[in-house]
């Protein structure tokens, strides 16, 4: 792309030296373009990146899409440029973040492990490894907060800026309904956090990496985001999923949700006298939930959060363990430190496990690319 005032190739060496990713000229695309090209076409993932970094855009509770809150659009270009659904210069961002690109379906990576927590008090998703990594980061001052997605007593998602161990433990576990969690980064920045960890989905990681690597004239504070942990994701659901589940089991009696194979597992604790209870599990075929899949997920081709520092999911590992992929030096150092300090247990992910992850990554990419044609 030739920028205003440049001839073909002019200024390229300066961009390369500064290590930024080429993105469209600012002041040429605004929210109206974002609405027309992304939101109106059902491509919005509700990641929250636009609202996190532009005070003129809002996503309030109950909203199903971002809203422009002022009468006049200054066309500053932030929302359009940072949105992971307008364009995705994957190779350029990989070069900027990792120093190389990869044709592997797993993306660029340094190591792959099976991992689980060594802390008995942590009850997380598939081994509690994310909570343990964040706890280690807080304890060693590698981070001063973690932006995570929690939920209320009825499993409605909400964002938390966790600054202590107790908040981390309370937010452990996976939520399978949409929430614009990147808006929590703004809350963390406004609270003067300067070493922020973020845990989120591939689309949310993409948005934050676009903010990080863009050459733009605004002081956004994104340099305070020090760690990105991405979660494996095939698709996400609207809140209609919760209403559907609630008709089968009251949500306030649900302890955990999990997707295994082709079914959603709802873990319920039976209420008995004295506060005890025997847990049982309700299974729902994923085929019954297709009507609740968010339409913006149909264009996503990233299963393993390929732009994260660390990627985590259950696919490929034994029951009670998580698959953990380190991609950057920072991510690798955090994992090794947590292991050596007794926060987590790790072992090499067998090739069979890696192939399971690759198979799903290829399946998602192929399916959604076909949908786009």
The pLDDT tens digits of the residues spanning 228-279 come to 999 999 999 999 999 999 999 999 888 888 888 889 999 887 553 345 555 6
For 352, list phi and psi in degrees, rounded to 5.
-65, -35
CB neighbours (10 Å) of residue 248?
11
CA separation for the pair 148, 153 (Å, rounded): 16
**CATH architecture for residues 240-292:** Roll (3.10)
Phi-psi region of 103 (alpha: psi -120 to 50; beta: other; left: phi over 0): alpha
Per-residue pLDDT, 270? 58
Give the per-residue pLDDT at 13.
43
* Residues present in the chain in total: 373
pLDDT for the residue numbered 371: 64
Q: Is a pLDDT exceeding 60 seen at residue 52?
A: yes
Residue percentage of the chain with pLDDT more than 70: 88
Share of the chain above pLDDT 90, in %: 69
Identify the weakest region by mean pLDDT among 15-24, 64-73, 146-155, 337-346: 15-24
The answer on pLDDT for 21 being more than 80 is: no
Tokens of 168: 């981390």
pLDDT number for residue 19 = 55
Mean pLDDT of 75-81: 88
Q: How far is the C-alpha of 3 from the C-alpha of 27, rounded, in Å? A: 12
Alpha-carbon distance of 332 to 264, in angstroms, equals 32
Q: What is the mean pLDDT of residues 298-321?
A: 94
Task: Give the long-range contacts of residues 40-43, CB within 8 A, separation 24 or more.
Answer: 42/295, 42/296, 42/298, 43/85, 43/296, 43/299
Per the CB < 8 A criterion, the answer to whether 146 and 137 are in contact is: yes
What ranges do the domains of the chain cover?
A: 105-238+304-372, 240-292
Question: Tokens in use for 369?
Answer: 């690319």
Please give the backbone phi and psi of residue 16, each rounded to the nearest 5 degrees, phi first. Answer: -65, -40
């Amino acid at each position: 792309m030739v920028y205003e005032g440049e001839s073909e190739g002019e200024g390229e060496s300066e961009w390369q030296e500064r290590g930024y990713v080429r993105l469209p000229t600012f002041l040429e695309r605004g929210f109206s373009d974002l609405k027309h090209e992304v939101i109106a076409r059902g491509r919005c993932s509700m990641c929250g990146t636009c609202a996190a970094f532009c005070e003129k855009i809002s996503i309030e509770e109950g909203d199903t899409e971002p809203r422009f809150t002022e009468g006049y659009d200054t066309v500053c270009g932030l929302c359009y440029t940072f949105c992971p659904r307008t364009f995705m210069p994957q190779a350029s961002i990989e070069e900027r973040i990792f120093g190389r690109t990869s044709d592997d379906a797993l993306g660029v990576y340094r190591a792959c492990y099976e991992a689980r927590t060594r802390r008995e008090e942590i009850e997380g998703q598939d081994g509690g490894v994310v909570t343990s990594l964040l706890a280690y980061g807080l304890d060693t001052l590698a981070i001063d907060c973690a932006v995570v997605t929690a939920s209320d007593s009825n499993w409605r998602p909400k964002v938390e800026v966790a600054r202590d161990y107790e908040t981390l433990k309370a937010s452990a576990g996976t939520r399978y309904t949409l929430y614009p969690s990147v808006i929590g980064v703004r809350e963390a920045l406004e609270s003067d956090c300067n070493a922020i960890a973020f845990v989120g989905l591939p689309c949310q990681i993409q948005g934050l990496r676009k903010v990080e690597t863009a050459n733009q004239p605004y002081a956004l504070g994104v340099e305070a985001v020090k760690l990105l942990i991405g979660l494996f994701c095939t698709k996400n659901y609207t809140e209609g999923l919760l209403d559907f589940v609630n008709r089968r089991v009251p949500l306030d009696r649900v302890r955990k949700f999990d997707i295994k194979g082709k079914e959603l597992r709802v873990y319920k604790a039976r209420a008995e006298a004295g506060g005890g209870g025997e847990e049982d599990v309700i299974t729902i075929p994923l085929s019954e939930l297709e009507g609740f899949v968010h339409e913006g997920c149909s264009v996503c081709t990233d299963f393993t959060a390929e732009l994260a520092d660390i990627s985590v999911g259950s696919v490929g590992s034994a029951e009670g363990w998580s698959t953990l992929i380190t991609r950057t030096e920072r991510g690798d150092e955090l994992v090794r430190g947590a292991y050596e300090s007794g926060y987590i247990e790790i072992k090499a992910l067998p090739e069979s496990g890696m192939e399971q992850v690759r198979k799903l990554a290829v399946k998602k990419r192929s399916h959604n690319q076909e949908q786009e044609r």
